[in-house]
Amino acid sequence: MSDYFPENPLIVQSDQTVLLEVHSPRAEAARDAIAPFAELIKSPEHVHTYRITPLSIWNARATGLSTEAMVATLREYAKYSVPEGVAQEIEALGRRYGLAVIERDEAGLGLVLRVADPPLAELLARDRKVAPLLGERLAERVFRVRLGVRGLLKQALVAIGYPADDLAGYNEGQELPLRLRERSGGGEPFTVRDYQRAAAAAFHQDGRTQGGSGVIVLPCGAGKTIVGMAVMALIQENTLILTTSQTSMEQWRRELLDKTDLPADAVAEYSSQRKNTGPVTLATYQMLTYRPSQDAEFVHFGLFHARSWGLIIYDEVHLLPAPVFRITAELQSRRRLGLTATLIREDGLEKDVFALIGPKRYDVPWRELEGQGWIAAADCTEIRIAQTPERDMEYALAPRRNQFRIAAENPRKRAVVVDLLKQEAGHRILVIGEYIDQLQDLAADTGFPLLTGKTPQLERERLYQGFRERTVPGLVLSRVGNFAVDLPDADVLVQVSGRYGSRQEEAQRLGRVLRPKKDGRRARFYTLVSLRTCEEDFARHRQLFLTEQGYSYRIETWGKG
Amino acid sequence: MAYYIIQNEPQSIPTLVDALQSWTVDILKKLAALVGDGKNLPTRKADLIEYIRRYTEGERLQTLWSRLDPVQQAAVAEVVHGPDARFNAGRFEAKYGQSPNWGENRFYNSNPSLLGVFFHGGIMPDDLRRRCRSFVPKPEPARLSLQEEIPGEWALTYKEWDQETRQQKVYQNRVPIVRCPTERGAMHDLKAVLRLIDAGKLAVSDKTHQPGAAALRTLSGLLLGGDFYDDSEYDQYDKIGPIKPFAWPLLVQAGGLAALSGKTLQLSKTGQKALGEPVEKTIAQIWRRWQKTTLIDELRRIDCIKGQNGKGKRGLTAVAGRRAAIHQALQHCPPGRWIAVNDLFRQMRATGADFEVTRDPWNLYICEPGYGNLGENHHDWKILQARYALCLLFEYAATLGLLDVAYIPPHDARLDYRDNWGADDLPFLSRYDGLLYFRINPLGAYCLGLADRYQPVAPEVSATPVLRVLPNLEIVAIGASLEPADAMLLDGYASKTSDAVWKLDQARLLEALEEGHDIAVLAELLVSLSGQPLPETVERFLEDMTRRARSLTTTGTARLVECADAVLATLIANDSRTKPFCLLAGERHLAVAIESEARFRGALRKLGYSLPK
């Protein structure tokens, strides 16, 4: 190989992935240098994988990074010469960003699309997706943008590979005086962490039109809620917060009242029980996307126009449902903040997040936060448990669709849970599973209260509160425990069954125990798997996800010491 | 050593007098003059014989012997203490580098030296031989000249006609000698070749079993350090041609590790096993089997020697005998010391460990069958035997890693063929002409039976790992030195997902196991190239896959028999006569193992049924 620099940490591959050798002395510098224009795909021990995508390049261009700088960065840290195709792709894609700019017209009333050169103008004028969204051609390179299609135009431009730089700015929302407290409601000192402050600043861009919309990527437990509040404190306007669940809504409410000077009546809930709006309004995606029938209108979309929102926060933006994208396309004149632990969407709609919510503004790898103690370190253990011979036979004879359940409900798991509870006595334990019968048995075995989807919201809150206040030593949770349960002291999670190989579920569940512990102890995440069943294969999918996130992963066989 | 013994020639002569009887008076007079004082020489034949006999009587024989020069004395000693009474000129010259002085022999005018009294037609009379034993000391055995070190350069001597001085001008060109330790390379290369075959990517001719151009190219890229020579820069006329890449496919076939299947080689069970076995054992086995292989006659590789087909082929001696002679000669070479190949050849001839390549050299030729034939006086040992031996040593023994070699390019390295008709334009007679020295290394000592066990060379410890095995079942090549063979092994077990990344996945691994691969080989490679134990997730994954692959075994083929109804099927499956040979498969079907079919049919007939064939 002609060019080989063994001390360098990057291997740039022709498929546009970049491998980062984390043990290299220059790894940290390289990571910081490529993070703005490459997405971290996986970060297992030893080697992390990044991918350079059109979106990652445009995200970087949106922050002002030049394509020359991106290529130079790769060349500086690459072990081998950078494939010419990769450099060309970065340059070609990077150059496209900003060729189209959406801005206000001279009168400041309407919007215009200004493109860099006449050929592109002709291309757009003839494109079947873009042309219908363009109005009158005001000059050779300037088109009027039809009313109300700003978002759709941005989506269309991203789709054809010419993302627009949206400099049209935002409508002013109704004012909301909001200050972050120095001491929380409980009297404990409260400060916004440096990375949270930096994330908020990266989003706000000092109020310039270059900022005000985009996505902040932080790992579970890193305090995305705090970043949201910090952004609210910078913008000082009425805010609509969209979350994934009622519990999450409760969490936001609790945090807002605890860490900001907002009065209780300033935080309204738009839910099935209460349809209130206020300066800060909380709602769930489920609520917003409700419609009486498949052909009916979304009856709650009126919420987006109910007040003069200066900011809309999309929590867990990777789960944003498609209808919300549609309404968001109409809300491009509002500031939009997406919060998430991952930009990767199972439905592949990352481009819509980029076009409609905005580019990635800030990203911190979880390892860095773990190193700084902002999220807890976690050890993952898979425990394989043999079934009884009779059950093995039952499993073998069962139709394939039922096999997973038989394996998941292996009765021997109960004994293992009891053993683990003994082993982890004194810790704050969550037992989480998929099947209610099994969970009921476990609740009986452990004496922990059981929370399922049927548990009334008030009862859930009471139990969560009890867990937080240590009056309840542990909880047995069904799938309701997957999302946004803020139980900061939970440090042991036993997963008795899961939803096949869902990696997202695995991440969410692990997130439950990643809040930093006051005494710095490591979180422990146990997964119980039936030996020689399809559960092993599903567990491997989940295992891959965890190892790709960099968690240590052990595999034990129960009953073999 | 003459291949034919001429039947009319005597093999021994009982007495000196018998020997003298065969000479003419003229010769006898000259011999009498040599042994006596030269005065009063008789003239009659009988008197002359008596005269010479008298002067060889008693202690006079010793006096005569003492008048011989040292080389002549050596000639006497070699025969007196040798296996028979015939003087072996070739062996003597090989040992002493010269022939003894026999005197002058011009046409019909012969002037013998004193040695003529001891030898008659190259044979020493038995009575003389017996008597000489009492005073002629035993000759020193021929010894190899062993070298701790070899020179860094080799001088090629050329002669050129100088127009100005009108004289031959001699000048020298110094060529650096390449030293090539082969042991590690061979161990690597063997595995690489086996893996290539395992991947189904090594095609050879179905007629000759030799690799074609594409296979040679593939192999060249795989071998550690490439071939002995890189002739890519040479022009067409000077190209040397492949050595190692040519040898390996033949070696593995000869060793029983691979066999032709269609147009590609396929690993045999032994070959599959060899992937996980200690390499030295496999190499020793290949060398052992190579001794007897008929896959190729190494002489074929001396492209310039033509006429090896048809009549010429029939005259060629059996290859096993030639290889055995060379193998035996190597067994007399002490390991760890450099030996000049010419010295080995000298030793072989001097000790009689010689061999013939052909019974009829007239059928072999260089360039042109008429003028260029290698018949009597147109070739010597160096043209045929030496070239054959060079090929075996260089192309097969060194490729297998038995011999470390020191060599120069073959061009002008051996000019001994240049006097043959039409050969002056050839850049070399064989591509192996550049081999100068060899040294039996520890692997060679083991394979040649000179050492009981193999003491491997210390492996080169890589300061930086070549691979990283990640807990998410990915394997990343992070170093510059991932060998193509290792990459190929990874390809066999894992899916390559990008330039430097392989992913272990269940489907690919199970496929590899199904094809007979051993996961231990993969694990061993991963550990050695990463310098670390495998991550627990990877280890467990490999264990799981191995367990699953071993959970099912093929025990044979069965015939599926359909019965008219479920009752009959149950009856046959449970009848004590048919039960041992069949199994109920479903309601109306029976499975009968092919090897039990005859007995099943017999039992079935006893039951009153039959199964149409």
Specify the higher pLDDT residue, B80 or A303. Answer: B80
Give residue B289's pLDDT band: very low, low, confident or very high (50, 70, 90): very high
- Of the candidates B471, B479, B480, the beta carbon closest to that of A547 is on B471
- Residues of B within 8 A of A21 (CB-CB) are 468, 478
Is residue A20 within 8 Å of A27, Cβ to Cβ? Answer: yes
Q: Which amino acid is at B261?
A: S
| Residue A104 phi, psi dihedral angles, 5° rounding | -75, 150
Give residue B2's pLDDT band: very low, low, confident or very high (50, 70, 90): very low
R_g of chain A computed on alpha carbons: 25
Output the pLDDT for position A107.
Answer: 79
Q: What is the mean pLDDT of residues B537-544?
A: 91
* B interface test, pick of A41, A46, A80 with most B CB neighbours within 10 Å: A46
Q: How far apart are the CA of A413 and the nearest CA of chain B, in angstroms? A: 21
The answer to whether the CB atoms of B501 and A555 lie below 8 A apart is no
CA atoms within 13 A on the CB side of B374: 28
The answer to whether the CB atoms of A47 and B471 lie below 8 A apart is no
Contacts of residue B235, Cβ cutoff 8 Å, sequence gap at least 6? none
- Closest chain A CA to residue B482: A1
Helices (H) and strands (E) in chain B, counts: 24, 20
Q: How far is the C-alpha of A315 from the C-alpha of A286, rounded, in Å?
A: 13
The beta-carbon contacts of B170-173 under 8 Å, at least 24 apart in sequence, are B173/B412
Q: pLDDT exceeding 90 applies to what percent of chain A?
A: 42
Q: Are strands A239-243 and A311-314 parallel, antiparallel or unpaired?
A: parallel
Q: pLDDT exceeding 70 applies to what percent of chain A?
A: 95
Which letter does DSSP use for residue B423 in this model? -
- In the block, tokens 């009297």 appear at A187
Q: How far apart are the CA of A9 and the nearest CA of chain B, in angstroms? A: 9
Output the pLDDT for position B91.
Answer: 87
Q: How far apart are the CA of B546 and the nearest CA of chain A, in angstroms? A: 13
Nearest to A538 by CA among A506, A507, A493: A506
Instruction: Give whole-number Cα distances, B519 to A452, B280, B513, B545, B583, in Å.
Output: 45, 21, 7, 9, 34
Instruction: Give whole-number Cα distances, A509 to A319, A349, A478, A518, B98, in Å.
Output: 15, 23, 11, 20, 92
Q: How far apart are the CA of A331 and the nearest CA of chain B, in angstroms? A: 41
Instruction: Tell me the residue ranges of DSSP E strands in B423-492.
Output: 435-440, 467-469, 474-477
Is the model's pLDDT at B609 over the cut of 80?
A: yes
Is the model's pLDDT at B214 over the cut of 50?
A: yes
Sheet containing B501-503: order of strands: B467-469, B474-477, B501-503, B495-498
The answer to whether the CB atoms of A547 and B472 lie below 8 A apart is yes
Contacts of residue B173, Cβ cutoff 8 Å, sequence gap at least 6? B155, B156, B158, B412
Is the model's pLDDT at B50 over the cut of 50?
A: yes
Q: What is the mean pLDDT of residues B478-500?
A: 83
Output the pLDDT for position B376.
Answer: 67
- Closest chain A CA to residue B477: A11
Is the model's pLDDT at B5 over the cut of 60?
A: no
Q: How far apart are the CA of B472 and the nearest CA of chain A, in angstroms? A: 5
What are B62-98's pLDDT values in tens digits? Answer: 999 999 999 999 999 999 998 889 998 888 988 888 8
- Closest chain B CA to residue A547: B472
The answer to whether the CB atoms of B541 and A11 lie below 8 A apart is no
The answer to whether the CB atoms of A537 and B480 lie below 8 A apart is no
Q: What are the helix (H) ranges across A97-165?
A: 118-126, 150-159
- Of the candidates A11, A42, A44, the beta carbon closest to that of B500 is on A11
Is the model's pLDDT at B122 over the cut of 80?
A: yes
Output the pLDDT for position B462.
Answer: 54
Q: Which amino acid is at A464?
A: Y
Phi-psi map region of B332: left, alpha, beta (phi>0 left; psi -120 to 50 alpha):
alpha
- In the block, tokens 């064989």 appear at B430
Is the model's pLDDT at A47 over the cut of 70?
A: yes
Is the model's pLDDT at B281 over the cut of 80?
A: yes
Q: How far is the C-alpha of A215 from the C-alpha of A58, rounded, in Å?
A: 13
| Cross-strand bridge partners of residue A361 | none
Q: Are strands B365-366 and B153-162 parallel, antiparallel or unpaired?
A: unpaired
**Tokens read off for A42:** 């996986």
Give residue A225's pLDDT band: very low, low, confident or very high (50, 70, 90): very high
Output the pLDDT for position A393.
Answer: 92
Q: What is the mean pLDDT of residues A343-368?
A: 77
CA atoms within 13 A on the CB side of B406: 23
Q: How far apart are the CA of A129 and the nearest CA of chain B, in angstroms? A: 34
CA distance between the termini of chain B: 66
Is the model's pLDDT at B327 over the cut of 90?
A: yes
State the DSSP H helix or E strand holding residue B584, giving kind and residue range, or none if neither: strand B582-585
- Of the candidates A536, A537, A553, the beta carbon closest to that of B536 is on A553
Give residue A488's pLDDT band: very low, low, confident or very high (50, 70, 90): low
Is the model's pLDDT at A214 over the cut of 80?
A: yes
The answer to whether the CB atoms of A21 and B478 lie below 8 A apart is yes
Is residue A10 within 8 Å of A27, Cβ to Cβ? Answer: no
CA dihedral B79, B84, B90, B95 (to 10 degrees): -50
What are B180-194's pLDDT values in tens digits? Answer: 999 888 988 898 899
Boundaries of every domain in chain B: 2-132, 178-447, 467-551, 558-607
- Residues of B within 8 A of A17 (CB-CB) are 498, 501
How would DSSP label each residue in A176-218?
----B-SB-TTS-B----HHHHHHHHHHHGGG-TTSSEEEEE-
CA dihedral B363, B368, B374, B375 (to 10 degrees): 60
A281-290, A500-509, B553-562, B567-576 — which is least confidently predicted? A500-509
- Closest chain A CA to residue B466: A6
Is residue B86 within 8 Å of B146, Cβ to Cβ? Answer: no
The answer to whether the CB atoms of B499 and A14 lie below 8 A apart is yes
- Residues of B within 8 A of A46 (CB-CB) are 468, 470, 476
- Residues of B within 8 A of A537 (CB-CB) are 506
Burial class (CB in 10 A: 0-12, 13-18, 19+), A97: buried
Query: In Å, how far from its chain's centre is CA A154?
Result: 22
Is the model's pLDDT at B165 over the cut of 50?
A: yes
* A interface test, pick of B478, B541, B545 with most A CB neighbours within 10 Å: B478
Q: How far is the C-alpha of A42 from the C-alpha of A429, rounded, in Å?
A: 28
Is residue B373 within 8 Å of B363, Cβ to Cβ? Answer: yes
What are A176-201's pLDDT values in tens digits? Answer: 999 999 988 777 888 999 999 999 99
- Of the candidates A49, A80, A553, the beta carbon closest to that of B471 is on A553
* A interface test, pick of B534, B540, B541 with most A CB neighbours within 10 Å: B540
Helix axes A54-62, A84-96, angle to 10 degrees: 50
B258-272, B374-388, B520-534 — which is least confidently predicted? B374-388
Q: How far is the C-alpha of B531 from the C-alpha of B346, rounded, in Å?
A: 48
Statement: the pTM of the whole predicted model exceeds 0.90: no
Give residue A246's pLDDT band: very low, low, confident or very high (50, 70, 90): confident
